[in-house]
Structure formats: structure tokens, C-alpha cells
Structure 1
Amino acid sequence: MIEFTRATYDAVVAHAREGDPAEVCGVLVGHRGTDGDPSVVTRTYETENVAERPKTRYRIDPEAQLEAIEAAEGNGLDVVGFYHSHPAGPPSPSDIDIGRATWPGYSYVICALDGFPFVGSWRWTGEDRRFEQETVGVRDEE
């Protein structure tokens, strides 16, 4: 399970809307869940989408990703996962999303904008390029 603070959930949706019709992306930071506890997102880092075709693909700028990781660690936080948007696509990982996943055990969040915004999350198991859908929650406190 992954939980967002209200502010971080709203930030992901706002970033997706602002970037439409291109896909947007970023890094999710907070506290990684252990022993069945949920991961909690307390901060988002917007990154540039450097994909060759940003309307249908995403690729987090590697330098921005490294900066986000260093900032998180400098603040005593963990990388919880990554997010991107699907402006007109399904609210689930595409074959390309699955093929490019590189962080086993981390959450890959997708904000789909087709209709009402839907935020879903999948955790990459690292086995056979398999993702498992996870529950998304929103906390009203920080």
C-alpha cells in the first residue's frame, strides 16, 4: 500500500493536468513501508520528461532523479517510488512502462487524466517484469 498526504496527492494530479497533453513525471519521497506498513509520500519532486516522444512515453531526467534522491537522503527521507501521467491512456502500466521499470520493490504511480483523474499504483516485483497493483490512500495530515 502507498499513502499520500493530501498535498502530495494534489501535487501529482496538478502536475499531470499542467503537463497535458504530454506525460509528466517525478520522484516520490517519504517513508518506505516495512513489515506490512504502507509507504507514505510526504514530498514530490517534479522532473523533466526527457523521452523522445513525451506525449506517449516518459523518462525521468537522470540528473534530476539523482538530485531528488540526494535531497531526500539529505532530509532523512527515502525514495518511495516514481510517478508519471497518462493524459489519454489507461490508468495502468503500459508494456513500455513495465519494460523500463528498474527499481524492484518501489511504487510506480500513474495519474490517468482520461475522464476524472485516477491515481493508481503498482509495485514492481522485479520478477518476470511483473507489477502488482497496490492500494492508494490519502492522509489529511502531513
Structure 2
Amino acid sequence: MTSSNVSVSHAARDSVLSHAREGAARDPPAEVCGVLVGNRDAGSISSVRPVSNVADDPRVAYELDPAETMAAIDDVEASGADVVGFYHSHPESAPVPSAADRAQASWPGYLYLICNPDGRMTAHEWTGDDFHEVTLTVE
């Protein structure tokens, strides 16, 4: 991706935030996650595909369900769109990459969007070594 600015559609942003609020309302609260869909070359996110979080402790971690993730990626590619990256929520903390997020990141050049239920959202490109924050513009 290698862009310092990424645009996200209102619909995609609203879907991510709605999903995050659903996770925060659980008892106990849980991180939610999914796939970002759009155009990698243009640096744009047009929609999202929610995926189940199968982490051992979803309150503080996320792990995209492997089968659901592969099915979502296949569907996205079959539609002619691109997988731009992945999203997850931090239901009880700031939307910045955690040590666990860094340890788990495995798609260099892809976007990792993090949000929390109050509506704060950040985007970071994984370089393979660390996250580089990018500007997120809602369009």
C-alpha cells in the first residue's frame, strides 16, 4: 500500500464502529475483527467483511477465524476488489497498536485499522517490523 493517506467510505466506517460497539456490549467486552475491502492502489476502503474473533482471550486480543478469513478474501478477490487490510477493536483502550498487535501482525504493506466503541479510529500500515500510522479520511 505504502500510502500516507487512506480514505474510508462512511458506510465502511459506520460498519466497523457498529461491529466494535456490539463487541463492547458483550459480557465481558470483546475485540471484534474483520477484513477491509477496497482498492489498494488508490488507498481506499469501500466496505468491510466482519470475521469471528477466535482468540483465547477476546477481551484483550483478536485472531481472525482462518476459514472465515480465507472465504472473505476469496469473495473479495472474486468480486474484483482488493483486500486493503484488516480491522479490529480495542473495547477498553485507545485505538493504537498494542504489543500483542505488533507480535501478531503478519501482512507487510497492508493496513491495520483499530477503533474503539467511542468512535476513535486509527490506521497503520505494517512494514514487517513496525506500524507506520497513516492519515484516515472519511469520504
| TM-score normalized by the length of structure 2 | 0.91
* Alpha-carbon distance in 1 for matches of 2:8, 2:15: 10
The alpha carbon displacement at 1:2 in A equals: 1.6
Pick the aligned partner of 1:27 from 35, 39, 47: 35
Runs of 4+ in 1 over 6 A off after TM superposition: none
* Alpha-carbon distance in 2 for matches of 1:6, 1:117: 12
Match of 1:122 in 2: 124
Letter matched to residue 66 of structure 2: P
* Alpha-carbon distance in 2 for matches of 1:2, 1:24: 21
Pick the aligned partner of 1:58 from 43, 55, 62: 62
Give SS of 1:83's match.
strand
Letter matched to residue 37 of structure 2: V
Alignment of 1:102-141 (within 5 A): 102-113=106-117, 116-126=118-128, 129-139=129-139
Unaligned runs of 5+ in 2: none
Q: Does 1:92 align with 2:100?
A: no
**Which string of whole-angstrom CA distances, capped at 9 and with x for unpartnered residues, describes residues 23-50 of structure 1?**
00000011003xxx5x111120000000
Identity level (%)? 44
Question: What is the number of residues matched between the two proteins?
Answer: 131
How well do the aligned residues superpose, as a CA RMSD in angstroms?
A: 0.9
| TM-score normalized by the length of structure 1 | 0.89
Contact 1:25 1:46 in 2 (8 A): yes
Unaligned runs of 5+ in 1: none
Q: Does 1:43 align with 2:51?
A: no
